[in-house]
Structure 1
Amino acid sequence: MLDTASLRVAFGVVAVTLLVLFYFVAYRTSRSAYCGWWCVALLLFIGGSAAYVLDGTSHQVWANPLGSTLMVGGVCAVWAGTRSLRDRPVLPALFVVAPGSTLLAAVLDDPAANDWAGGGVFLAWMTSAVALASWELWSVRPAAAVLLRRERTFSPAVRTMAVMASAFSAYYAARTVAFLTSGPDGDVFERFFGSGVTTLFTTVLLATVSFGMTSLSFERETEELRTRATRDGLTGLLNRQEFMRQAAAEWRSRARNRPGADGCLVLADLDHFKLVNDTYGHPAGDYALQAFAATCRGVVRSSDLVGRYGGEEFILFLPGITPERAEQVVVEISTRLRQTATLNGMTFPTVSYGIASVADSVDLAQAIEQADRALYEAKALGRDRVIRSERLRQEHEQA
């Protein structure tokens, strides 16, 4: 079996190789924060491993404290990377407190004679930082799931990294307990948690996580491309093409499995929107569109579809509800919209709605046509109102 020094050299070679491959394959193409933090972590691990090679020499008085400090800095970088996956801010103080306390403990613990100077503090920080990184990974939700308000889901790459981080944290927790109970020279610690075993375990972890990070980078790029293809760039709602695709699929499913089921299609149009742009500028108009989209997301159910139909016009597909309930939904949207803060004293535009019942429609195109006629009537009657297509039809029949 290889001695500890040889294993550390091998670990350094593997880490350097992974850093080079990861930098050119993943980071340079994505420039993502989590890839950047993983590059920083690998650099710190490489530095720590290089310092540990001097263990047992006259240089260990500074090399071992430096190695421990760099290793703790590396796991802090891992934690920062996992936080960036959730768009959470990095905690700069962590990079002062954790490595700083590790260095101080090692320096005060006779590093010239004690191979494990400051070992308790070092192991505690390694365990804590990796445990926090593991928790962050288990809490990650893909961007698509956030937009669609789905329950927590995991990509294969994130799941793999979460499992590995949990295993690594559990290993270091057991290592800390063994160190505190039997000491670094104890039989249990030396056999199961010694430097050689830990170096092998960490090498496997680095390789697995690096490949996981690369896979995650590609997943995120693919997800971003999919989002650009299916989402409106300004509001984050479904674009017209994707809305029609999903609504048509839902319509076919309803016709096949739930014939005669309730459901409504709604067209909404922001009143006098051109006046908003002309009076307050296009940024104010963009804000109005974004506010309406956010209000819709806050009112409708996760099973409903909301899209930007074009310009200041929006479309909603509300399966399984009656026209009366659909009217309540759009009234709630307008009520919340009136309570939204505006920019620079801007008067928020009112909204007109046309509602069509899918039960009265042969297909999706006909439902849109009926909702459009109802919307046109709402505009003609003075705007800022809701017209249902069946009421419009009844009035025409009575006339």
Structure 2
Amino acid sequence: MMLDTTTLRVSFGMVALTLLVLFYFVAYRSSRSAYCGWWCVALGLFLGGSVAYLFDGTSQQVWTNPLGSTLLVAGASSVWAGTRALRMLTFSWPWFLAAPVVTAVAAAIDDPADNTWAGGAVFLALMSFMVGLASRELWLVRPSPTDLLRREATFSPSVRVLSVLSGGFSVFYAARTIVFVAVGPDAVAFDRYLGSEVTTLVTTVLLAAVSFGMTSLSYERETEELRTRATRDGLTGLLNRTEFMRQAAAEWRSKHRSGAHGSLILADLDFFKTVNDTYGHPAGDYALQTFAATCRGIVRSSDLVGRYGGEEFIIFLPNLPAERAEQIARSISERLRATATPNGMAFPTVSYGIASASADSDLIDAIDRADRALYEAKSLGRDRVILSDDGRPAT
């Protein structure tokens, strides 16, 4: 026996309330992420819309029915806003409010006192449209170029699942819109397959599934953020020393097993203390960040770049000879010389020491040789490249 609409709406409201409480305390309070916040807002609005519909058939229907439709569309708009937050896109109140306002106006002028489907076509169409926009935003979620360069991008399957679920829900509401306009809400084709009872059941299942997906996504993002903090330098975004040594050692072993070679670069910003003393620590931070960004823009995605300590950086270039590493170091300095700096500050020059990988050496040995070459570059006047193999300066 099919449950009546009122019972289903009460059940839906209880599910929405339970999910809201659980999601708020389990996901949002731990992550404080914008997309989790928007999903909490959406659950609250869906709950409010369901409660408002419970007054259909009473003297309060004249305002609760339009309110219910408006709250549900606002909930769909919140889902869209959350997906935009997931993509780090800006939020716009006019775009957010447009759909709920149009829904409210359409319902208010369509005899809401006697018509439980006041503004029904507009409501259904906008629900489909806003959820469809959310599905599109989820589908477009991609790792950032910086993450791809760092070789750390993790694309959560939760995002793709959420996109498919919301896309299917959008199609469902699009079908409701078409059939509603074609035959009306009282037709058997609409009432039996696309009416309020079926929709409430579908929406209840969807809310549970999406809430689970959002919780999973929040957990994955939080775990990724903790991992990033543990492996990345907070100022430059490069690998920190510990993580660089771990990854470079693994890469080193792999390359030597295959007989491949590579090069290691140690770079040090010249007279860096003078920059801090003359222009202030923000200028020094800018110099470090600019150097890091320049390195990322020149090296390959397979190369490793790390902050070795202070103003010293380290780069491992698998499968590249020392001569090519010298060219890369020179390219970095040339690009830095062309970089605009604040307050008329001259960008500090950089000294480089380069060691080539060989079958009879290890990572520590290569770092030691590169460090000796870097020391020689400093002693010869800085702003130059020294290859450890023969001690010759770059031209």
Does the CA contact (< 8 Å) of 1:44 and 1:73 recur in 2?
A: yes
Q: Supply the distance in 2 between the matched residues of 1:327 and 1:183 (Cα, whole angstroms).
A: 75
Between the aligned partners of 2:8 and 2:366, the Cα distance in structure 1 is 69
Superposed counterparts of 1:1-399, under 5 Å: 1-141=2-142, 146=147, 148=149, 150=151, 153-256=154-257, 258-259=258-259, 261-359=260-358, 362-392=361-391
Secondary structure of 1:341's counterpart equals: coil
For 1:104, the aligned partner's letter is V
Query: Offset of 1:219 from its aligned partner?
Result: 1.4
Q: Is the 8 A contact 1:142 1:155 kept in 2?
A: no
Alpha-carbon distance, 1:59 to partner: 2.0
Indicate the SS of the match to 1:356: strand
Distance 1:272 1:9 in 2: 70
Aligned in 2, Cα 1:132/1:348: closer, same or farther, shift over 3 Å? Answer: same
Q: Please say if residues 304 and 318 of structure 1, whose CA atoms lie closer than 8 Å, have aligned partners that are also in contact.
A: yes
Cα separation, 2, equivalents of 1:96 and 1:20: 25
CA distance in 1, matches of 2:20, 2:281: 45
Structure 1 counterpart SS, 2:391: helix
Tell me the matched-pair count. 393
Q: Measure how far apart 1:96 and its partner are.
A: 2.2
My pick for the range that moved more, 263-272 or 24-33, is 24-33
Q: Which amino acid aligns with 1:169?
A: S
Secondary structure (helix, strand or coil) at the match of 1:265 reads strand
Q: Could you tell me which residue of structure 2 aligns to residue 397 of structure 1?
A: none
Q: Provide structure 2 residue ranges, at least 5 long, that are not aligned to the other structure.
A: none
For 1:312 and 1:19, the matched residues in 2 are separated by: 48
**TM-aligned CA deviation for residue 182 of structure 1:** 2.4
Q: How far does residue 149 in structure 1 lie from its aligned partner after superposition?
A: 5.0
User: SS of the counterpart of 2:93?
Assistant: coil
Report the alpha carbon displacement of residue 15 of structure 1 after superposing the two structures with TM. 0.5
- Show structure 1 runs of 5+ residues with no match: 395-399
What is the distance in 2 between the residues matched to 1:190 and 1:242? 60
**Structure 2: distance between partners of 1:307 and 1:151:** 14
In 1, the alpha carbon distance for the partners of 2:176 and 2:358 equals 65
Paired letter, 1:356: A
Task: Please identify runs of 4+ aligned residues in structure 1 that moved more than 3 A.
Answer: 141-145, 147-153
Deviation per CA, 1:188-236, whole angstroms, max 9, x where unpaired? 3222211111111111111111122222222122111111110001111
Offset from partner CA, 1:166-186 (integer Å, 9 cap, x none): 221222222222222222223
Amino acid at match of 2:325: A
C-alpha distance in 2, partners of 1:104/1:272?
Answer: 67
State the distance in 1 between where 2:246 and 2:314 align: 13
CA deviations 1:318-363 (Å, max 9, x no partner) are 1122222222222222222222221222111111111111136511
Q: Distance in 2 between matches of 1:286 and 1:93?
A: 38
Contact 1:145 1:151 in 2 (8 A): no
Query: 1:348 corresponds to which letter in structure 2?
Result: F
Q: Could you tell me how far 1:158 is from its partner in structure 2?
A: 2.2
Question: Take 1:95 and 1:250, find their aligned partners in 2: how far apart are those partners?
Answer: 48
Q: Equivalents in 2 of 1:125, 1:153: separation in Å?
A: 33
Q: CA deviation at 1:393?
A: 7.6
Deviations 1:1-34 (A, max 9, x none): 1111111110001101111111111212222111
Q: Distance in 1 between matches of 2:338 and 2:199?
A: 58
SS of the residue corresponding to residue 236 of structure 2 reads coil
- Counterpart amino acid of 1:234? L
Letter in 2 for 1:333: I
Kindly provide the CA deviation profile for residues 83-104 of structure 1, in whole angstroms up to 9, marking residues without a partner as x.
Answer: 1112111121123211111111
SS in 2 for 1:140: coil
SS in 2 for 1:390: coil
* Preserved contact between residue 256 and residue 359 of structure 2 (Cα < 8 Å): no
Q: TM-score scaled by structure 1?
A: 0.93
Preserved CA contact (<8 Å) 1:50 1:67: yes
